[in-house]
Amino acid sequence: MAQYQEELDNLVPFEIGLQAGETMIMWALGMVFWLLSFVFMGFAVGWDFGGSFGPIMYVVGGIFLLSSQFVTRWNPLKTSGMPYTGVALWLLVVVFAAPILWKGWQVYSDSSMLVFMISYTVLAILITGGLLVSNFLTSLKILDWMSQDMATTLYAAGIISTLIGVTMVGFNNRALLSIDELTLGDWEIMYVFAMSYLFMMELHNGAHRFNDIIKYAKERATGEFSLTPVINNYYIMGFILMVIIGFGVQLVLVINFFIRWISPFISEQMANSVMMNSVYSVVYTIAMIFIPLWIVLIIWMEYRNRKEAKEEEEMRRKVERETRPGIY
């Protein structure tokens, strides 16, 4: 007879309904910030989205984000062994990315649509084939990694969709190309847009996280389990950190302004270059600040981890020595 083990505990039925009550405010706030990001994106491009695809993608993304709160942690991979949500997410990316690539093709290439379609189809088949090969012939199962529970998949799809929307909107607005022509107000609008989007992502992610914890605790525990003090602390600490992050973003932008202001004094050629008068100057500033900072941070984190591991090992040895029976 074949070996047969009970695995019924892993099944999570698919349910539609509101997530935990404690996280409702986070969802609601997240949606408010999503709306704000949409509005400020509109302000940033003067409400000229250059076509309907970009804003539609943004709205579709918002709908995905909202709907991710109405479903349970149902995981088809766990239930049926088939990575349905991974495949769905992949298809979503393939389908949603096509118009962007087509737009890029139109801007940068003179070839016909047929050439684009053939190239894109070959690319999609190659990547899909690669994923399938990884899933069925190797131990590197990328589709399984992509396959998450329903709520997480919808959340990821929402983020991808809104980012595709932003990319498309940006594609159609040449006004954003010359940053030296932007007013301080334009910068502030884009800053508020970015911060609103970040707030939305954080709040929805927090809601997912806390909802998972509440569900897990309620499934496992028969007694009372309250996450309210932790959630309240999250609101306070999260707000403080977000204010710091807001200042941090502004600081980077101020450094960017300073570099652009000082560049004519260093080199006229550099000051007039595309590098200094386009988005590349912001990217240059980001690279200049974050690459050295993160090298230092990674070294520091590694040093701290090793120090703590060493201390823990010493502590463990000390306890072992103290509890070892003596020879009498």
Partner 1 sequence: MWTKKAASIVSMAVIIVLLGMATRNLLLVMLSLAALVYTTVSVFANTSTRLTADREMSQEKIFEDGTVKVELRILNQGGKTGFLEVRDKVPRTIQLKDGTNYTYLNLSPKGATRLKYTLKCPLKGVYKIGPITLRTHDPLNMFYKEKTVAFESDLTVFPQVRDVKELYIKSKQPKMYPGEMKVKMPGPGSEFFAIRDYMPGDPFRDINWKAYASTGKLLVNEHERLSVSDITILFDSRSSSRYGMDSDNANLYGARAAATLANFFLKRRDSVQMVVYSDKVLTIKKGTGQKQLFELLTALAGATPKGDIPLSGIVEVAIPYMPRQSPVIVISNLEEDDSIRKAVSMMMMLEFDVTIISPNSIEFEIMAKQKKGEKINAAAYDILRLEREILMQELRGYGVKVLDWKPATPLTQILLEARNY
Q: Which residue's CB is nearer to partner 1, number 135 or number 148?
A: 148
The C-alpha atoms of residue 103 and residue 123 are separated, in whole angstroms, by 16
Let me know the angle formed at the C-alpha of 202 by 237 and 56, rounded to the nearest 5 degrees: 155
Q: Which of 163, 194, 161, 180 is nearest to 44 (CA)?
A: 194
Measure the CA–CA gap between 132 and 142, rounded to whole angstroms: 9
Which CB sits closer to partner 1, 25 or 268?
25
Q: Which of 46, 276, 250 is nearest to 179 (CA)?
A: 276
Task: Show Cβ contacts of residue 56 under 8 Å, excluding neighbours closer than 6 positions.
Answer: 165
Site string for partner 1, 158-187 (x = CB under 8 A): -x---x--xx-xxx----xx-x--x-----
Among the listed ranges 56-64, 73-81, 85-93, 208-216, the one in contact with partner 1 (CB under 8 A) is 208-216
Give alpha helix (H) positions in the chain: 24-44, 53-67, 76-80, 84-108, 113-136, 142-146, 150-171, 184-220, 228-266, 268-271, 274-277, 279-323
Question: Residues 10-49: x/- map of binding to partner 1 (CB under 8 A)?
Answer: -------------------------------x--x-----
Q: Tell me the closest approach of the beta carbon of residue 66 to partner 1, in angstroms.
A: 20
d(CA 3, CA 10): 18
Which position among 195, 200, 207, 276 is part of the footprint of partner 1 (CB under 8 A)? 195
Residue of the chain from 95, 266, 295, 301 that contacts partner 1 (CB under 8 A): 301
62 part of the interface to partner 1, by CB under 8 A: no
Q: Which two tokens stand for residue 267?
A: 């080199």
Interacting stretch for partner 1, rule CB under 8 A, among 6-14, 68-76, 81-89, 125-133? 6-14
Q: Which of 133, 270, 293, 295 binds partner 1 (CB under 8 A)?
A: 293
Site for partner 1 contains 191 (CB under 8 A): yes
How many angstroms separate the most distant Cα atoms in the chain? 91
The answer to whether the CB of 13 falls within 8 A of the CB of 149 is no
Does residue 52 touch partner 1 according to CB under 8 A? no
For residues 160 and 169, give the distance between their C-alpha atoms in angstroms, rounded to a whole number.
14
| Contacting residue, 252, 257, 273, 277, with partner 1 by CB under 8 A | 252
# of chain residues touching partner 1 (CB under 8 A): 70
The angle subtended at Cα 241 by Cα 239 and Cα 246, nearest 5°, is 95
**Region binding partner 1 by CB under 8 A among candidate stretches 15-23, 27-35, 110-118, 278-286:** 278-286
Stretch that binds partner 1, among 18-26, 62-70, 111-119, 235-243 (CB under 8 A): 235-243
Among 129, 130, 248, 292, contact with partner 1 (rule: CB under 8 A):
248
DSSP states along 189-211: HHHHHHHHHHHHHHHHHHHHHHH
Binding site for partner 1 (CB under 8 A): 1-9, 41, 44, 104, 159, 163, 166-167, 169-171, 176-177, 179, 182, 190-191, 193-195, 197-198, 202, 205-206, 209, 213, 216-217, 220-223, 225, 227, 229-230, 233-234, 237-238, 241, 244-245, 248-249, 252-253, 278-280, 282-283, 286, 290, 293-294, 297, 301, 304, 308, 312
